[in-house]
Amino acid sequence: MPIHWTISHPTRLVVAICKDVVRRTDIEAYLDGVVVEDAMPYRKIFELRDAVSGLNDDDMMALGARIQAYAAQPEPMGPLAIVALTDEQYEYARRYAVLATARRPVKIFRELHLARHWLDSLETKGLKA
């Protein structure tokens, strides 16, 4: 499976690491796992690491619509830090952030430690859900 994730309920943090070709079904399985664990309000790191996108425009639109549907729910969505190492990953992350609009902070990083620092700073500012 190209996306491996862990959910820490004590720290209210989800960390997902992507490798190989990531398809829409992989991202949908990840989202389903987060929802089943009641972790949608948690802070999230989505690291693209060695990932290659297997997403076309229709996939991106469908994922954006799915996030917008989650955002319409009364339960808030937690902040999302996307770690994109390559220019291609960064472009896909940027497109996703634009299409998946929600009432939550989203930021794209080139380095994992900066993403974690940002999420931790949001927690100390009281933005933890």
The CATH number of the domain holding residue 106 is: 3.30.750
Q: How far apart are CA 44 and CA 81, in angstroms?
A: 6
Domain of residue 9, residue span:
3-124
27 belongs to a structural domain: yes
69 belongs to a structural domain: yes
Instruction: Give the pLDDT confidence of 3-42 residue by residue, as tens digits.
Output: 999 999 999 999 999 999 999 999 999 999 999 999 999 9
Q: How many domains does the chain have?
A: 1
Instruction: Give the pLDDT confidence of 40-55 residue by residue, as tens digits.
Output: 999 999 999 889 999 9
Q: Is the pTM of this model over 0.95?
A: no
Kind of pairing between the strands at 13-22 and 3-8 = antiparallel
pLDDT classification of 100: cutoffs 50, 70, 90: confident
Mean pLDDT of 69-90: 93
